[in-house]
Chains A and B, each alone.
Chain A
């Protein structure tokens, strides 16, 4: 029995908790991509840079607060700076919409052209970020790093295996729950949310019934900016901020959105967790896990790893390709918010 609990703890420590926090970050990102896709109707390649921009502004404010000795004690200072980052990200989104995307929307350009345009925006935002903070890795998490250390857990339970709980992971999961609940409540229960769903379902019909498209677009960027900034900051808190990483993060985020069914918010969230867990589970070495479960003579000699961790990134794409082949509309038949 103890062996069984030990093996579960191993899984929790190395697979489930990291998967949950990484999945939450992907889910928030994918939700943003989905909103842009469902309402503005294009694949936004600049979303990663939007996340990066939000994280950067948050970091700048964190530094400011740290220099003023304002902090939250045990919690990271970034949490006070986050609202400012969100405002700035929303501002960037609205600006890019006003000066770039709006023109193509009124022209009714094809989605590919809009995707190209978003690549242009990606380059510009990318350059701005690099010019402001450079390309170095930045660590900005402060406060208490661990809620529970592996050693404490061992002492507490008397088990062989430790369970470490980073505060950034817990914060990520909690904030994600709050944000997701709010977003879904907003979409389902409020009048504005319903008008957004109508707009994404059938634009012409929505316009006929008196929905103001500018307002819908404005609210969309509010939500997208918030989601992007929070996702970017959480990722940075969890793994340290590096401007180049976010470009690579765009691909798993797209994969999550498409796997879940692009255009469906619920699908995007599920897709985020699916991608995160499969990335981690396929590349995790299960040797330790099996060591506790199997009798001694059956113990595996190799690492019991399906793929080496080098292929972490390739996994999300393989899943994407498989899903597109078998069920092109994604797990939750997307198209409408």
Chain B
């Protein structure tokens, strides 16, 4: 990959921003922001692939993220044996019945010729089928939810390392995207936006209320980590040796052994938390680079060229014999799967799964602002957008506080307007996001790092 001057500037700006924050607010803060920036960049790349390459709009980001989060829970949480014991068979029966129902409907549609008969038969079979399935299903789920509701009350997971869930999250989100795409991709773009937004709300509300599956609004806490715990690090010799070695010059200046020990202890505690965050950052960075690499490869491949052709002129691409419906579905699923990976990573980073935390403003529209600002159709642009917007999202609060204090410094400290403004500091970030989006769309509609036009 070769970057031009402009892209190098963007990259160096990003790097220097984190270094500045590291020196001003501490390296811990800087790493926390960096981790979220990387995850945001992956989400942004996911959206960018479907929107930037092929012009398929995907406003269901929130739903795919939530599916990724669900994967993290289902993969890593230890199974709750008792719940399986009381509810497993009921769930199994309803699942088998559901498959039977689907097969029955399939055959009715295939065998019955007359249309009115078909509707009646379908209606009857589905109505009674659903009633029977509901009976088994509700029985089983209510039993599962009764198992130790304060700690469990759901099925648990597969007890595997959580890092597997990143791939599984991609599959979950991709699967849901496949279903949505089958239904909705024929629609005009702004309808598609509304429908995907709505379906993502449905996905989140299912996760919120099907407690047997995801523990719902009771949240799942204490998920496993792919990186060591601070406590274990503080007790391990190699880590202590490493910290001592790194800070040897600082430690050697202190002569008093007690003081020296105390300082070493503080250093170990600080650096253990830094070390954990750094580990996360490295893992996330690897994933980001891998996805970036393949996304770029795909973009310059013949397939990517076909996607651009479909995006730019659907009719002529169709005339050239490209199957537009199929390609749209493929790219929608790929984009959603990448978002799902990011969703699993997000839950891994937090260590907890809170379905009620998925809100469209934060998890759909902000991601879209990142894509538009960064530059749709350019993966580096998408990453840049993710970094810059998330950075601004976090750092705008201290900045506004500073600015408000500056501009109202002539006023009385107890002045009502001043106090009210200081109270509403968190809301200024929405103002900033809106303004940034409007300005970019007006004056630089292709984004900060626009798509490269390739003539080949």
Contact = CB atoms under 8 A, between A and B. Distances in A.
B328 interface: no
Nearest to A316: B198
Interface in B184-232: 184, 187-191, 193-195, 197-199, 201-202, 205-206, 208-209
Nearest to A312: B205
A74 interface: no
B402 interface: no
Interface in A37-61: 42-43
A134 B424 CA distance: 7
A112 B365 contact: no
Given A123-B434, A134-B424, A313-B205, A251 B198 contact: yes
Nearest to B200: A317
Interface in B84-123: none
A168 interface: no
Given A115-B190, A123-B365, A130-B427, A255 B438 contact: no
Interface stretch (A146-154, A183-191, A227-235, A319-327): A319-327
Contacts of B431: 123-124, 127-128, 131
A317 B202 contact: yes
B57 A112 contact: yes
A127 B437 CA distance: 14
Contacts of B429: 127
B8 interface: no
A328 B194 CA distance: 13
Given A112-B193, A310-B208, A314-B206, A122 B438 contact: no
B187 A324 contact: yes
Which size class do B's interface residues fall under? 35 or more
B157 interface: no
B12 to A, nearest CB: 28
Contacts of A311: 205, 209
Nearest to A114: B190
A119 B199 CA distance: 18
A111 B369 CA distance: 17
Interface residues of A, number: 43
B189 A325 contact: no
A182 to B, nearest CB: 28
A247 interface: yes
A39 to B, nearest CB: 15
Nearest to B429: A127
Contacts of B421: 131
Given A119-B365, A121-B434, A317-B202, A131 B195 contact: no
A220 interface: no
A116 B437 contact: yes
Interface string A101-137: 0010000001111011101111111111011001100
A115 B365 contact: no
Contacts of B11: none
Contact of A127 (B198, B368, B434, B438): B434
A321 B430 CA distance: 30
Given A100-B438, A311-B205, A313-B205, A321 B195 contact: yes
A121 B439 CA distance: 11
23 contacts: A100-B442, A103-B442, A111-B190, A112-B57, A116-B372, A119-B369, A120-B435, A122-B365, A123-B369, A124-B430, A125-B434, A126-B430, A126-B434, A127-B430, A131-B421, A134-B424, A251-B197, A310-B205, A310-B208, A314-B201, A318-B202, A320-B198, A324-B191
Interface of A: 42-43, 100, 103, 110-113, 115-117, 119-128, 130-131, 134-135, 247, 251, 254-255, 258, 308, 310-311, 313-314, 316-318, 320-321, 324-325, 328
Q: Top 3 closest A-B pairs, CB basis?
A: A123-B434, A127-B431, A124-B434
